[in-house]
Amino acid sequence: MSINHTPITFSQYSINAIESITTNVAIEAPVSLTVNGKVWLTFQCTPDYLEQMAVGFLFNEGFVTNMDEIASIYVCEKRDNVDIWLNHAAEKPDTWRRTSGCHGGTTSTDLEKDKIEPINDPAVLSVEKLLGLITSFQDNQPPHSESGGVHTSAFADGENIIFYHEDIGRHNTFDKIAGRILMDKIQPKVPIVLTTGRVSSDMMQKAIRLRTPYIISMRSTSSISVNLANDWGITLICSARKNRFNVFSHPERILSTE
């Protein structure tokens, strides 16, 4: 059985009949994160790429900056805990802020306190190139067709999509991407994140730490996210389709053919 989805049988009612149907539904599982021997929090997530999600979460929250700070990572046999030991002390935050992310997202991040610099990447992409990435992203989302109920995010290098991650929580997909980048030592020329999820403020803060000059969403955004994108130098693209997209910030990075 896949760890992303599981078969469920349900009854479908119509005016003249009741039909028994078997389909796949997304798996949601609680997975705790233990740091230096202490339980910090519990993710509600799709239980795959758990090492990447845990590493990415610590990176996106500002507790680590590279893999050299991580001494060991262990995912327990039942896949309900990720145990990470760092090469340095780390204080568990006294409080976690609830976010608008799916399934109880939490964050303690503070970009200004951590002295994160605005993104000044001058990378310019054409409308044609961006539409090509959007088309590729929309045409390659097997988890949606298999189970539905999950979000997919992808990481691209300005030319092609490098990898996809999916999760029942959209913010978890950004953590998985961050962890994958760190663990695989990926250094793309033009880092781009594409997502099926709405870009809320917690998603934007994660993207800022990823240093991506572009976020492309198939959905909408929020007022705080637009403000963050403008302030921190991210070109925010939303409501993306194969033939059009809406730009909410820093349009100077987009080369128009007109």
Structural domain boundaries of the chain? 29-107, 125-255
At the topology level, CATH places domain 29-107 in Ubiquitin-like (UB roll) (3.10.20)
Q: What's the distance, CA 185 to chain centroid?
A: 18
- pLDDT of amino acid 106: 55
d(CA 69, CA 166): 26
pLDDT mean by block of 10 residues, the chain; 258 residues: 76 95 90 96 94 97 95 96 97 71 52 77 92 94 60 93 93 96 93 95 92 96 95 96 96 85
Q: Which CATH class is domain 125-255?
A: alpha beta
d(CA 210, CA 168): 21
DSSP string, 2-15: -SSEEEEEEEEE-S
Give 63's DSSP letter: S
User: What's the one-letter identity of residue 33?
Assistant: L
- pLDDT of amino acid 115: 74
Which of helix, strand or coil describes residue 98? strand
d(CA 54, CA 43): 9
